[in-house]
Structure 1
Amino acid sequence: MQELINHSFTKKDVIGILENCLNKTLGEIDINHVFDSTRENPKITGIAGNVIEQSVFGYSANSSKNPDLIIDNIPTELKTTGIRLSKKHPKEYEAKEPMSITGVSPKTIITDISLVNKNDIPHHNLLVGGFPCQDYSVARSLNGEKGITGKKGVLWWSILEILKAKKTPFVLLENVDRLLLSPSKQRGRDFAIILSCLLNEDYIVEWRVVNAAQYGEVQRRRRTFIFAYKRNTKFAKSLNVSNQDNDIYRIIQNEGFFAKTFSIKEFNNLSIKSENISDDVQLVSDKFTFNFENSGIMYNGFVYTAKTFPEEIEPKTLKTIIEKETVASKFFIPNEKLYYTNPEETHSDETENELPAKSRQTWQYIKGAKRKMRLATNGHKYVYSEGAIPMIDEWNKPARTMLTSEGSFNRSTHIVRDYNTKEIRILTPLETERIQGFPDNWTNTGMPEKFRYFCMGNALVVPLISKMGKTIEKIFDESEDE
């Protein structure tokens, strides 16, 4: 922190310094000619931030990972809007959006979005988010469902408040595939509530359930993606959508956001189901039920949905992400923890007698099929059963869906054969990063390993997001005049 001693300011000082930059170009405030470095390297990254640091605040460039400034005794990192070479004027630079400078400090980050005044959120053209899936994910039993009326699900209402306050033109959201079916006693209600809310805010909404492995990735991870756009955007107008069957088919099959990002096999337009959806959210909550399929669009108060199939790309396999170097011994599983009986045995029956605790603490047991007695809350005894899953995740297949419990002694955790010794072990944190498409050691920041696993179990598959990002960038490029 000693190196920051000359970078210390009061908040009032910082505001005064930055106010002098208002309505000026980077060239006008670049008194130290930092921008000249782009003459030799036009693709240099972070140049806008370098100008602010060196020409505005007056301290020399460095590659330190420490925060840039101390503001009112709080270490603060500066973040600036990115810039790029102009497509209209190739020799000039332009900001991707109106230039902004933000100070971020770990001590001042507000972690609860419900406490934020939504009017204070900067204007933006795209809101990206996901909301918790604990209440209706298939990772939990059905009697744990609460949907968006549950404690965890209320984040949706904060997202909606932002959309209302900022009139955001485009929205990209993510959730588990079960969102379309939740809750089990009123199929489709939760997703319909979201659609009804977006209908009230004048959005057209597309959705698609995407399995990453079907589009060439190394994980069988199914997620619902939702892309919404205001009816008055240039993109919406370019689609020329209507409630006619042929137009709906055209959007789902060829011209919509997801059709352009994740191609699907041709399907019969007669398979499209439709239903009116009310803008009365309470009515939807009380009465609506509908079987949403994996693809669809909401337009003008109607939902249209069809079961579609991807133009599949051969998935990568676990062999492509397995570490080839020597792996630390702590990741390997002792034989006594692997099996409690014949390794070929995949079933256990405890309806008469429960197995010893030591046997139940083996991977063979937790991954095997089971039958055991349980007691319901009303005192009724019943037989609980579950099927077996593969004991070892072999190299010739993609990974299963990673959960936040990855790496722990858990039924869903992957166990694999080591590349060199062929002995059985859990995945390393680096391998989980590769499964999600992150660069090696992305989470190796000093955090405990269990949090590295948690982060990857909670992450999205990066290449899928990159594909959607390219489609969105094209939409924005074609809407630059808006």
Structure 2
Amino acid sequence: MGKKYSDIKEKLQIVVDKKTTNDLAHLTHYFQNHKNGVSQCFRSSATEYLSELHEELNIAEEPNFQYYLPIKWDIPFPPTENPTFKFIDLFAGIGGIRLAYQNNGGKCVFTSEWDTYAKKTYEANFGEVPFGDITQISEKDIPDHDVLLGGFPCQPFSIAGVSKKNSLGRKHGFLDETQGTLFFDIARIIKHKKPKAFMLENVKNLVSHDKKKTFKVIISTLEKLGYNVHFKILNGKHYVPQNRERIIIVGFKKTVFKSKETFEFPDPQESNFVFKDILEPKVDDKYTLSDKLWNYLQEHARKHKAKGNGFGFGLTDLNGISRTISARYYKDGSEVLIPQKGKNPRRLTPRECARLQGFPDKFIIPVSNNQAYKQFGNSVVTPLIQAVAKNIVKELSKINESNQSKIAVHK
């Protein structure tokens, strides 16, 4: 009988905060991967850290893993049992992409995310602490995997991000040294690990950024690494009541698939969802806009309308779909406002934001409202990613079946 993760977490005082180091990532990654052939990537550091914890916390048992394993994962989204493929989750955020691939039978063997608050949410739901800044992690320390996943930072390429950086006189795209070059960290990992396939996600504007030069460099780089590349702009509105267009880039290793994969992006589904489906029945008055904020938003919209601009708040049709929710939603909620009878509109609750991105209600939100708004605004429409994942997994399964047939013939 396994020990509950919640008990182990309490005993070892596993807490994610600004002091959290990669030691905790090694420990939780080893807990989740001790049996699947990638344990050597984490065992040494995890063992050393476990010994330090035992000494620091004055724990009576011997500091070895026999006491803790196997673990009963009492978390919302436990690791996949009997997985059919392995994947890594880069720029993981709160795990929207991981959730989609776990639901398709995959096992996550490595994850990276630099934001402390996102790590906190990730651990609460998946029982694993992501490693930190990917620029500081050697590709040699990443386990072998079948699929590489990455929703790399979109701010350097988004319309809003570019406008803001231009107004501040800052560089954007690949010239943004803090975020714009992170794509090349994906490229160096792909080059070294040679996964069978990858899936990358970003804002629609990536395609047109810098007169399409940026996108051309990305596709060219991936092709030179030996991959057949497929890409398409997909809209989350076919899966949730939100207009959310994103570019999805998928690649298949030519030496594995012989350029014969039959992968296609999922066809748009006819959605019966309407916005009111994601609303909570009772909502605290604190989500209703103050007179001051509501008056400001109306005046702001009037000024822009007079100039011929389309900027302004978005009062959502409850029987339709909403605008795209963004990471800045915490500031005023203006892009998606909910009309209310007899009073000012209100902003969404964090749970409603989660639903708008397709996260199930058992997804834990352990952070403040402002952090939750940022996290869900930065995340993905999980059912859309799951539909893409399903088609990628189909291609992987064909390769696996083909390899098994060859083995049977040789026998």
Instruction: Give the TM-score category using the shorter length.
Output: 0.5 to 0.7
User: For residues 464 and 64 of structure 1, do their structure 2 counterparts lie closer, same or farther at Cα, with a shift above 3 Å needed?
Assistant: closer
Deviations 1:400-441 (A, max 9, x none): 0001111422643x21124x8775211111111111111126
User: For residues 422 and 218 of structure 1, do their structure 2 counterparts lie closer, same or farther at Cα, with a shift above 3 Å needed?
Assistant: farther
Check conservation: 1:210, 1:224, Cα contact below 8 A: yes
What is the alpha-carbon distance in structure 2 between the residues aligned to residue 450 and residue 315 of structure 1?
30
The structure whose residues are more often helix, as a share, is 2
What is the alpha-carbon distance in structure 1 between the residues aligned to residue 297 and residue 190 of structure 2?
46
User: For residues 167 and 211 of structure 1, do their structure 2 counterparts lie closer, same or farther at Cα, with a shift above 3 Å needed?
Assistant: same
Supply the AA of the counterpart residue of 2:233: V
- Report matched runs for 1:196-207 at 5 Å: 196-207=220-231
User: For residues 435 and 422 of structure 1, do their structure 2 counterparts lie closer, same or farther at Cα, with a shift above 3 Å needed?
Assistant: farther
1:448 aligns with 2:368: yes
1:257 aligns with one of 261, 264, 269: 264
**Matched residue, 1:409:** 332
User: For residues 4 and 128 of structure 1, do their structure 2 counterparts lie closer, same or farther at Cα, with a shift above 3 Å needed?
Assistant: closer
**Matched residue, 2:383:** 463
What is the alpha-carbon distance in structure 2 between the residues aligned to residue 149 and residue 157 of structure 1?
12
User: For residues 2 and 208 of structure 1, do their structure 2 counterparts lie closer, same or farther at Cα, with a shift above 3 Å needed?
Assistant: closer
1:167 aligns with 2:194: yes
1:123 aligns with 2:113: no
Which region of structure 1 is more displaced relative to structure 2, 435-444 or 471-480? 435-444
**Matched residue, 1:316:** 273
**Matched residue, 1:156:** 183
> Between Structure 1 and Structure 2, whose CA radius of gyration is higher?
1
Supply the AA of the counterpart residue of 2:264: F
2:247 aligns with one of 214, 220, 224: 224
Deviations 1:429-454 (A, max 9, x none): 11111111111262422x11101111
Gaps of 5+ in 2: 13-23, 38-64, 85-104, 112-118, 404-411
1:137 aligns with 2:184: no
**Matched residue, 1:82:** 81
Alpha-carbon offset, residue 178 of structure 1: 0.8
The structure whose residues are more often strand, as a share, is 1
The alignment of Structure 1 onto Structure 2 pairs a total of residues equal to 317
Check conservation: 2:110, 2:142, Cα contact below 8 A: no
Check conservation: 2:110, 2:143, Cα contact below 8 A: no
Q: How much is the aligned-residue C-alpha RMSD, in angstroms?
A: 4.2
RCO higher in structure (CA 8 A, sep ≥6): 2
Alpha-carbon offset, residue 5 of structure 1: 11
1:238 aligns with 2:263: no
Check conservation: 2:350, 2:373, Cα contact below 8 A: yes
2:302 aligns with one of 368, 383, 389: 368
- Report matched runs for 1:185-200 at 5 Å: 187-200=211-224
Check conservation: 1:257, 1:471, Cα contact below 8 A: yes
Supply the AA of the counterpart residue of 1:167: K
**Matched residue, 1:208:** 232
Q: Secondary structure at the match of 1:83?
A: coil
What is the alpha-carbon distance in structure 2 between the residues aligned to residue 400 and residue 22 of structure 1?
42
What is the alpha-carbon distance in structure 1 between the residues aligned to residue 202 and residue 240 of structure 2?
18
Identity score, percent: 24
- TM-score (normalizing by structure 1): 0.56
Alpha-carbon offset, residue 466 of structure 1: 1.1
Gaps of 5+ in 1: 24-54, 66-78, 86-95, 240-254, 263-310, 340-361, 373-383
User: For residues 117 and 461 of structure 1, do their structure 2 counterparts lie closer, same or farther at Cα, with a shift above 3 Å needed?
Assistant: same
Check conservation: 2:157, 2:173, Cα contact below 8 A: yes
- TM-score (normalizing by structure 2): 0.65
**Matched residue, 1:331:** 287
